[in-house]
Every structure is written in structure tokens, then in C-alpha cells.
Amino acid sequence: MHRVSSLPPDLRDEIGTRNLIVFDGECVLCSGFFRFVLRHDRTARFSFALAQSPFGSRPYRALDLPVDEFETNIVITRGQIHQRGDAFAHAMRALGGPWRAFYPLRFLPRIIKDSIYHLIARNRYRIFGRYDECLVPDDALKARFLPGGWG
């Protein structure tokens, strides 16, 4: 696990203390995760960025992750950077309410949770599909994205 404090200073400053989800806007599954969080995040705990955006690709580069195939969402909560299954678990914890029940998934052995995550990630476009274009947000939705985090 990485901490926001380990990121380059300019990126660290732009993220600040926000909870952030960086997701693949072309992936139907990943975009579905974003829409789920958006719908249930009634107190606007999270900010967002598309992985394909100028801002969104920067955390991937800083973490030495590929920027041509986004096989993981990045979720930042409490100054910690989470990937794969841990990203989902920590996002659910931050949402609170009944969604916290998914947080214990974080404690599954890494070999199990990462194997399942990678199996789904490698086949996500074939199973769930791919958007030809990212969704077009209205002004209220754009306000939830970090500067440069949209298209």
C-alpha cells in the first residue's frame, strides 16, 4: 500500500486530503462502480477522475502502473492509496452505512482477492463491454471531478 505522501509533490498537492476514485471511463464495469459510488455518496465524500484524463493518468504513472490498460481503479481514502480488491473495500468503508459490510473483503488473503480481481480485470471488456465514449457530465457532476480529471 502506498500513501499519498509518497507521490510527487505537485500531484500530492492537487489531491490534498480528498477521498478520490480514479476509474477507467471506457470500462462498463468500472464506470458502473463510479456510478454506484456517486449514487450512494450522498455527502459527496469522493472526488473523481477518469484514468484516461490528463490528471487521472498521473497517479498511475507515479505508481508505475500501465497507462494504456487500466486494470485497476485507484481509490484514495485517509491518505492511503488502494488498488484492486482493496480499492473496492475501502471505497465501501468510506461510503458508510450498509456498504461498510463489504470492508472485511479487504482481509481475504491477497493471493485469493488479487487472483479473482485480475481474472475479472483481464476479461472485463469481453464480459461487461466497453463504452466507445465516456459519459458526458452535467455541470453538477463535473464539479465532483478534479481539475483535468475529465476527458
pLDDT in tens, 92-118: 999 999 999 999 999 999 999 989 988
pLDDT at 134: 59
Q: What share of the chain is helix, strand, coil (3-state, %, to 5)?
A: 50, 15, 35
In eight-state DSSP terms, residue 17 is T
pTM: 0.89
Three-state DSSP class for residue 56: coil
For residue 40, the one-letter residue type is: H
pLDDT at 46 over 80: yes
Q: List the grid coordinates of 10.
A: 505537485
Q: List the grid coordinates of 147.
A: 481539475
Best CA proximity match to 95, nearest among 14, 25, 29, 39:
39
pLDDT at 124 over 90: no
pLDDT at 8: 95
pLDDT at 20 over 90: yes
Report the pLDDT averaged over residues 126-137: 72
pLDDT at 5: 94
Say if residues 1 and 81 touch (Cβ distance below 8 Å).
Answer: yes
pLDDT at 135: 62
pLDDT at 133: 62
List the chain domain ranges: 2-131
pLDDT at 138: 74
Q: List the grid coordinates of 1.
A: 500500500
pLDDT at 145: 87
pLDDT cut 70: percent of the chain above it: 95
Report the pLDDT averaged over residues 52-65: 94
